[in-house]
Amino acid sequence: MIRDRSGLLHRGRRTALLAVAAALAAAGLASPLTAAADPGHPNVLAAQAKPGTPKSTTTATGPHRATVGRLGAARPASAAQLAANSAAAKSGGKVTPNTADGADPGNGNDGDGYVANEYDQQVTYKGGQDSAGVVIGPPKVYLVVWGSQWGAPSTNSTGDVVLSGDKDQAVPYQQDFFKGLGSTGDGWSAVLTQYCEGIATGSVQCPSSAAHIPYPQAGSVLAGVWVDNAAAAPQAATEPQLGAEALAAAQHFGNTTEAQNRNVQYIIDSPQGTDPDKWHELGYCAWHDFQRSSYGQLAYTNMPYLTDVAGCGTNWFGENTARGRLDGYGIIGGHEYAETVTDPDTPGGWTDGTGQEIADKCAWIPKGSNGGLFFENLSTGSFPLQTLWSNTDHLCMASDPIYTNPPVVLSTMCDRTDTPGAPVSIPAVAVDSTGSAVNYSATGLPSGLSINASTGVITGTAAATNGYRRVTVNATDTTGKTASTGFWESVTSAGQPGCNGIEQLTDAGFENGSADVDHTVMTDAWNPSGYNVITPSSLHAPHSGSWYAWLGQDTGSDSITNYLDTYPGYSSATFSFWLDTETTNTSASAPDTLSLVAIDQYTGQPLGTVRTWSSQNPTNGYQQQSVDLSPFINQVGWGTTIGLQLVSHESGLTPSTAFLIDDTSARES
C-alpha cells in the first residue's frame, strides 16, 4: 500500500494519483534516486560516519530529502515541505493532475508509462486484526449515497437508484459494477479467491483447508443502496465523520452484529464538489479502512466524487464520453473493493513488506501492457479494471483459477485479555457453503464463560486465569461437516481488555532499507530526511536484522517519519523502539537530543513532543523505549492518521551523538 511506479498512492488505505517526480520538482527537491545513479554521487556506505564525522548528503543537485510518508500518500519530512507539495498539487482548490506512469504512451524514461510491479515481493498474511484477515463469506457491498446534495432519488429501467444531482451518473454505474461481479466472464474476482485467513503470520500461500475468499454469487454482491439525504453531507468530512456514516449505514441496513458485518463493506459516496478527508489537498482518489463498533468491525470506503478530479480515472482511455468519464469508478472502485476483501481490518490481511496491498502492486499499468488495465465484460456492462497481484503467479493478473472453500469455515479469532468480573462478548463467525445453519461449541473457556450454540457468541463474566489458556471453538453444520479455530485468552486485571493489538507500522524493523527502484524518490516507509539515515552500515550495529536508523549524522537535524492510522472504537495506542545512544558529547548545558514528535496529518504541524532523549543519558547498548500516544490521538480524534517523527538535533558544529533506532512497534487496542 505504499507506492507503485505508476503514481497511484495509498496511505492509510488511501488511493491517490500524484506523480512523485513532479511533486519533488515543484517542491524544489532533487530526485534522490536519479542522483544516486550519478557516478559522482558518493558511495552510500563510504559516506557513513561515526559521531563527530558528518556524512554528506549533498551533491550538485542539492540535499536529498524524501517527501513520501507511510503507506504512500505524499507526506513531507517538514511542514515547509508539506506546504510546498500541497501548493504544487492545488489549483483553485482542485488537484491539478500530473502525468503519471500509466497515463502516457511511454518513451523509456521515468514517468514514461512503462510500469511493472515496483516491489517484486509476494504479499504475506499479517495474522488478522480484531478477528478478521479476509472476507470468508459471500462478499457484500452496501452503497451509501451521503447527503442531500445528491438531489431527488428515483429508479431507472434496470432497477438502479438514480439521483437528480448526480451529474455524471456515478451511483448507477457503481450499482451495475457490483451487480455484475460473479457473472460469466468475471475472471478478475477469481484472483481474490487464492487469499485466506487462519494461517500462520507471514505465510505466502494458503492450504486448501484454510478459509478462502469465496467467489461471488452472480448478482449478489450489491446488498443494498441507502440514499441518506436527511441532511447535507459535510463539505469536508473528516475521517471520524466518515466512520460515523458507516456506523449509521450499518444501523440503517439492520446489520447490528459481528456476524452480519463480518463479510460486508460500506462504500460512502460523497457528493460532487465536496472534499472528504481533504482529498483535493492530499491528492488521493479513495481509501478503505475499518472501525470497531457495537455492531462489530465495520469495513468502509471513502469514495469522493471522482470526476471532480481528472486524474482519478476520468476518461482514462481517451473515450471522451459520458461513460468514459466514469472509468475511475471501475478502476478505483474495483481497487478498493479488492483490497477490502483481502484486508478488511487493515493491516491484518495481505500486504507486502512495503505495506502495499494486492491492488496497490498493480495500479495504473497501461492497457495493453503485461498486467495492465483492461475491460471486463460483465452481465451488467463492460467495466475498466486494473489487475490484481497474484502470489500464485507472482504477477499482476486479470484472471486466475477459482479456489473453493471447505464446506464449513470459521473466522480467525484474536488472542485477547479480559478483566475478571467484567462482562465479555466474543463472537465466533462460521460460514457454511450451502448457507445452512451451524451449531457452535467450545472447550477451554475460562470459568464463567459459555458459548451460545446458535449464534456463536461467547458471553459471561470470567474468573481470573493463571496466564493464557487455549480456547477451541467448533462449528458443525446439519450434515456433520465441521470446522474449528482457537485463540489464547488471559483473564487478568493487567492490560487492555479485548483483542491483543497487532503490528501497525510498515517496515517496523527497517529491513526493507531505503532501496531505490524507480529512480524518482526514496521508497522507504519511514521517510528518512536523507540518504544513509536508514542504513546497514557496519560502523554501528542493529538491534536485530541488518538495517537500522542512525540519527545524528548531520550537523543540525536528522529525522525519520512514519504515519499511524488510528481507528474509531479504539482508545489506547503505544509506540516502542530500541534505542542505543552513543556519544562523545559531555556537555550538560548543550546536549544533543532525540525527540519523538506527533504530527497532524493535514497541516504537518506538531501536535506535541511525546518525549525527548538526551546525550546526557547514553544507553550503553540497546534499551527498549515505550510511550503512550493516546493523548495526542485524542487531540484529533480516533479514526484520524497521525505522523510519528523521530528527530535528532546536534548542538555542536560537528556531530557527536549517534542515536541508533531499531525494531519499532505501534500497537492499538
CATH number of the domain residue 94 falls in: 2.60.120.260
The CA-atom distances, in angstroms, between 171 and each of 165, 306, 526, 631 are 10, 11, 38, 40
Determine, yes or no, domain membership for 404: no
Give the DSSP H or E segment for 378: strand 374-378
Instruction: Please report, for the domain that includes residue 445, its CATH number.
Output: 2.60.40.10
Statement to judge: residues 466 and 575 lie in one domain = no
- Could you say which of 499, 524, 541 is where a domain stops? 499
Count of CB atoms situated within 10 Å of the CB of 479: 11
Statement to judge: residues 89 and 234 lie in one domain = no
Determine, yes or no, domain membership for 410: no
Statement to judge: residues 551 and 608 lie in one domain = yes
- For 547-602, write each residue's pLDDT tens digit: 999 999 988 899 999 999 999 889 999 999 999 999 999 899 999 999 999 999 88
Query: How many whole angstroms separate alpha carbon 36 and alpha carbon 47?
Result: 13
Statement to judge: residues 325 and 199 lie in one domain = yes
Determine, yes or no, domain membership for 453: yes
Using the structure block, give the residue that is written with the C-alpha cell 504479499. Answer: 123
**Alpha helix (H) ranges present in 181-238?**
188-192
Please report the sign of the dihedral spanned by the C-alpha atoms of residue 466, residue 472, residue 473, residue 476.
Answer: negative
Before 606, cis peptide (omega within 30)? no
Report phi then psi at 88, rounded to 5.
-70, -30
Determine, yes or no, domain membership for 520: yes
Per the structure, the complete domain to which residue 68 belongs is given by 20-98+504-668
Statement to judge: residues 336 and 357 lie in one domain = yes
pTM of the model: 0.83
- Could you say which of 455, 478, 499 is where a domain stops? 499
Determine, yes or no, domain membership for 405: no
Number of structural domains, the chain?
Answer: 3
* 3-state SS, residue 5: coil
Before 139, cis peptide (omega within 30)? no
Tell me the CB-side half-sphere exposure of residue 572, using CA atoms within 13 A: 10
Statement to judge: residues 299 and 273 lie in one domain = yes
Report phi then psi at 126, rounded to 5.
-95, 5
Q: Provide the pLDDT for residue 311.
A: 87
Determine, yes or no, domain membership for 445: yes
Is residue 24 within 8 A of residue 521, CB to CB? The reply is yes
Q: Provide the pLDDT for residue 6.
A: 25
Using the structure block, give the residue that is written with the C-alpha cell 494458503. Answer: 206
Statement to judge: residues 237 and 153 lie in one domain = yes
Statement to judge: residues 161 and 32 lie in one domain = no
- Could you say which of 362, 397, 432 is where a domain stops? 397
Determine, yes or no, domain membership for 45: yes
Beta bridge partners of 597: 609, 645
Statement to judge: residues 62 and 184 lie in one domain = no
Statement to judge: residues 331 and 441 lie in one domain = no
Residue 649 cell numbers, joined: 538535533
Q: Provide the pLDDT for residue 26.
A: 32
- For 174-200, write each residue's pLDDT tens digit: 999 999 999 999 999 999 999 999 999
Q: Provide the pLDDT for residue 466.
A: 87
Statement to judge: residues 436 and 332 lie in one domain = no
The CA-atom distances, in angstroms, between 6 and each of 22, 361, 366, 396, 515 are 13, 10, 9, 14, 17
Closest of 269, 21, 69 to residue 165, by C-alpha: 269
Beta bridge partners of 59: 62
Strand 606-614 versus strand 449-451 pairing type = unpaired
Q: Provide the pLDDT for residue 59.
A: 25
Check residue 470 and report its DSSP letter. E
- For 471-525, write each residue's pLDDT tens digit: 999 999 999 999 999 999 999 988 778 898 899 999 999 988 764 444 344 456 8
Question: To 5 degrees, how large is the angle CA 282–CA 285–CA 286?
Answer: 105
Count of CB atoms situated within 10 Å of the CB of 494: 7
**E strands present in 325-456:** 350-351, 374-378, 381-385, 388-390, 395-397, 408-410, 416-418, 423-427, 430-432, 438-443, 449-451
Statement to judge: residues 214 and 299 lie in one domain = yes
**Alpha helix (H) ranges present in 119-167?**
none
First to last CA, the chain: 22
Query: How many whole angstroms separate alpha carbon 610 and alpha carbon 592?
Result: 17
Q: Provide the pLDDT for residue 514.
A: 62
Query: How many whole angstroms separate alpha carbon 431 and alpha carbon 213?
Result: 11
Q: Provide the pLDDT for residue 119.
A: 57
Q: Provide the pLDDT for residue 524.
A: 67
Determine, yes or no, domain membership for 255: yes
Ranges of residues in the chain whose predicted pLDDT is under 50: 1-116, 515-522
Q: Provide the pLDDT for residue 425.
A: 94
